[in-house]
Structure 1
């Protein structure tokens, strides 16, 4: 015990002695202050921890004997100090608006999810049959590795050239003129002015073109599988364009910053409105729909509803000349749309223009069917539509014959009716004109991709769920998908990412005014014409009568559109060759709508005429026809009107719709066209 008691103090003493130099070092680190005295250690009292904090400070040494104090380190300026008050306010507004936009979008999406209907039945994960189509393409490529290697080499060569160009440009070296094909998505000059965005643009175009070309290069697969693979590959590559994303679109970003985020708030409100308008499904607005009202500033050509039935209203238009041709003109528009595409505004109304040329014009305005008409058939539309309308026009005018026009599927229906009439010996039609109409569907447009059996079953399911009719929005979505860049993504960017106001465009307002279609009629049309191509193969029978277009020997005028993706000119040309009489074929510039609705006063586009084939008959192929075709500037309407004058008989006093056999029920455009889907 004694030894232990004598060792502990010694140990403590050593510890304190070792600590003393540390305090001295600390004191030397601050020469302006004298070292504080150290309390003496005793065996009887323990050191007091607070002693140092209460001792009086020792006076500092004279300044002359001390080294100068080092300059205190300067703190980094706060981020706020780099912005002035106006910039800070702009950043604050931007942050608030970004939050508003996010909340608006999230609220709209949550509401849309709650509106989704319960799914009844067995889901079909691939109604478009994309997987079999892509499998066929991939299998073909796997069996031809040299083609893949060649494609990969081309891609890498393209990227090496692009990287070299971007490197030179970043160093300020002049680069060759941009040879990238023009693309409306990248028309804003900022895509080329900024190096980063130019790199995005060119790398995207290089990769997407490469992928689309690779899919198109396969040769040993089913043609329909190949077309389907090409279509959906392009659909995907179009969707992933950098122009479709806020952070990779320089125009959208500049708009976002210059508006302090208000553009995105406005855009997300438009997004929410379109979701609500589609009842939980995104229904992208394409125009200022409120600007146009049917009967007020579109579909305003004066006329009367002279007859109404369960399938259509018959409109007779007021004459604008003192005399008219004896033979009236009866127009059958497609039932898939509303007729007033031919009567938008006075400046581009085909109906108004025809009355000015001295024709008595009648138009069928199809009903917008509901569930009560779900069982109406193709034959019902032919007998209760085409046949009935022809009879009514003859009665109303006293003319023994009529001239007819069929637009799109209205033309398909008219062609079948004419063949049926020919088989029955009915010669009450003087001539037939077809606007972008198909009768041979072997080379039909991209709609052919939506007629496989799996998709037809999906359509039937949708129609059953809607009470036996195809909702108007369903067909509109299909047409929009056929031209996704123009009808989907351009509006997605302008409406939602940039918050732009919609323009008042009459054609797009009409395009959004959809109609429903009866299940029985629509399924028959898709199966018999698109899926089976029964008409051109002589396999179609109506009411027990075989339908053969070779029996139609009246004069026929066929108009096609060079850029038509619904009824391609090659398909229309093959259809024209099915008729047994003289056929005048014209190819117009532009597509399915603008190629038709192109008044002479607009001085737009062009058209091609082949007088040699008009005299001697159509050659076997469109390519052969084009070799001798002559291009003419502007509209084809005048050329058609001259053809029609020769088929319309002598001039007679103008016919007042109010003085015919049938008394008018109401003014044009009637009531059927006003029914919304």
Structure 2
């Protein structure tokens, strides 16, 4: 909208009258909002930020530095004052001249400030410049804080960045030109629609604010996502086991059992035909079983890693062997399921169970000595708060984990979507990946604490041993042929951390692959797209840095390379198998019942 068009609207009496009427509707919706928040159960405040000791230590260190080196601190303050005064002077000049000078070319582009008014309007230009000055000054002050250990420094940097992102002028209606322009254009209807979106999101999550990222009405599980044909051939309280229909006349004798993470749903690997790993695997001539985990409620409070291993992993492996009448399977574990598959393989080694011929790990951490981006959340104050949040209900609600992951990319996954939905009144996009991202799962309290305390904090699998079923399990116990697929820009399971775990595994036949892109796109990377390449290097004795320096870059998806490796471990060709057998008849069509259970059901 141009300035003249904006003035025409502002000077129109009819437009102003309709705007006032709509603002009265906004007031009514605001009252509804207050009612929802009044009945909100809430969550443990320790999940919203670190305890005050961190900030106290930082403040004490900053104060000590100021006393010891006051000249340096004054220099910083004077520099901040100078920049602020220059910002104000520039705004005054612009107001007088009714124009704004071009922003310095050295300043990085920021998608939040894409509206031309951030440069052309003196008011918005000053707000933006002062915000960037404030952000720069806060980050510089954090960098100057001494006498903090690396973990505290990491946490202080992270939480200061969260404050900086939260206070961006784009997050507030009076200082967001996009939202203000749309409010004028729509006579306030965009604000009404936005508040309705906000009320809807709060009601859907019992008063907790979880920004809806996708238009949920655009998708139906089993109809336009998760549509690969198959049958549920087994069900217990922990999982449904889906056997997919063959796509070839013959198949490899040894079947595949795929374990997805239980933090999210399995259909990330079957969003649509064009990028479905599940469909592609069956087309390569394999019998494929996929576990669909239960979305637990309070009845699962006492379920731990033991139940996931015994009633999930081991049961699925044994059922696949029984149905296919074979002695071994090839197993795949994705993310937390890859971590747990590794524990399961170590346990099977202790028991002398050779049911798994080879294993494939997708973005799976097994050595947690470097906590990476999750360092701020894996300290005792946060984990203690999670334990208290689990409390009597015995369940860690899905939104806690979803929020944690989202705030690692807050501008893209929190503030940007919130602005579009709540300020602009836009309907979220019909994007299948974002729909899946919002379809999270609760976690049993016992399992969550075991995972956080024993693996993430204690790093027991790599250091000292993880206790399970009376056995002490070590990474070196994982000694079967293995391929690990990791992703170059993965911030959830950084590839170099995954590499450290694979290095410590005991097998002699190990393949390590780094795909381009991140935690999802690097895995869901079909050959037909020819989008992301991958890195390979057979020398796993090198440091992660040297491994990458010496790696070969390969164009295209890693899928065919992995399939070539798997084929050698999958036996002869046999007649294609229909799902189930006489002892395990099909119970219902894929994708089954469990995948349809929502976190709030």
Q: TM-score, normalised by structure 1?
A: 0.81
Matched, 1:383 2:317: no
Partner of residue 73, structure 1: none
Structure 2: distance between partners of 1:345 and 1:233: 40
**Contact 1:111-1:280 within 8 A present in 2 as well:** no
User: After alignment, is 498-507 or 178-187 more displaced?
Assistant: 178-187
Matched, 1:667 2:582: no
Q: CA deviation at 1:264?
A: 1.0
Which of 85, 89, 95 matches 2:14? 89
Distance 1:660 1:273, change over 3 A: same
Partner of residue 59, structure 2: 138
Matched, 1:112 2:36: yes
Structure 1: distance between partners of 2:411 and 2:566: 38
Structure 1 residues 77-107: Cα deviation after superposition (integer angstroms, max 9, x where no partner): xxxxx989981101111122222223312x1
**Contact 1:133-1:226 within 8 A present in 2 as well:** no
Matched, 1:325 2:248: no
Structure 1 residues 262-303: Cα deviation after superposition (integer angstroms, max 9, x where no partner): 111111111122222222232321110111111111111100
Matched, 1:102 2:24: no
Matched, 1:201 2:128: yes
Structure 2: distance between partners of 1:189 and 1:348: 38
Residues 321-400 of structure 1: pairs in structure 2 closer than 5 A: 321-400=248-327
Partner of residue 524, structure 1: 450
User: After alignment, is 451-460 or 166-175 more displaced?
Assistant: 166-175
Matched, 1:630 2:555: no
Structure 2: distance between partners of 1:570 and 1:155: 39
Structure 1 residue runs of 5 or longer lacking an equivalent are 1-81
Distance 1:660 1:157, change over 3 A: farther
Q: CA deviation at 1:162?
A: 5.8
Structure 1: distance between partners of 2:322 and 2:258: 16
**Contact 2:62-2:146 within 8 A present in 1 as well:** no
Structure 1: distance between partners of 2:344 and 2:595: 24
Residues 572-591 of structure 1: pairs in structure 2 closer than 5 A: 572-581=498-507, 582-591=509-518
Q: CA deviation at 1:333?
A: 0.8
Partner of residue 43, structure 1: none
Matched, 1:303 2:230: yes
Partner of residue 570, structure 1: 496
Matched, 1:649 2:571: yes
Matched, 1:619 2:546: no
Structure 1: distance between partners of 2:315 and 2:412: 39
> Secondary structure of the residue that 1:386 maps to in structure 2?
helix
Partner of residue 280, structure 1: 207
**Contact 1:444-1:568 within 8 A present in 2 as well:** no
**Contact 2:232-2:589 within 8 A present in 1 as well:** yes
Structure 2: distance between partners of 1:320 and 1:275: 44
Q: TM-score, normalised by structure 2?
A: 0.90
Distance 1:585 1:86, change over 3 A: same
Structure 2 residue runs of 5 or longer lacking an equivalent are 1-6
Distance 1:302 1:148, change over 3 A: farther
> Secondary structure of the residue that 1:657 maps to in structure 2?
coil
> Secondary structure of the residue that 2:333 maps to in structure 1?
strand
Structure 1: distance between partners of 2:579 and 2:462: 39
Partner of residue 156, structure 2: 229
> Secondary structure of the residue that 2:12 maps to in structure 1?
helix
Distance 1:424 1:206, change over 3 A: same
**Contact 2:323-2:580 within 8 A present in 1 as well:** no
> Secondary structure of the residue that 1:365 maps to in structure 2?
strand
**Contact 2:46-2:382 within 8 A present in 1 as well:** no
Q: CA deviation at 1:221?
A: 1.4
Q: CA deviation at 1:150?
A: 5.7
Matched, 1:250 2:172: no
Structure 1: distance between partners of 2:425 and 2:42: 33
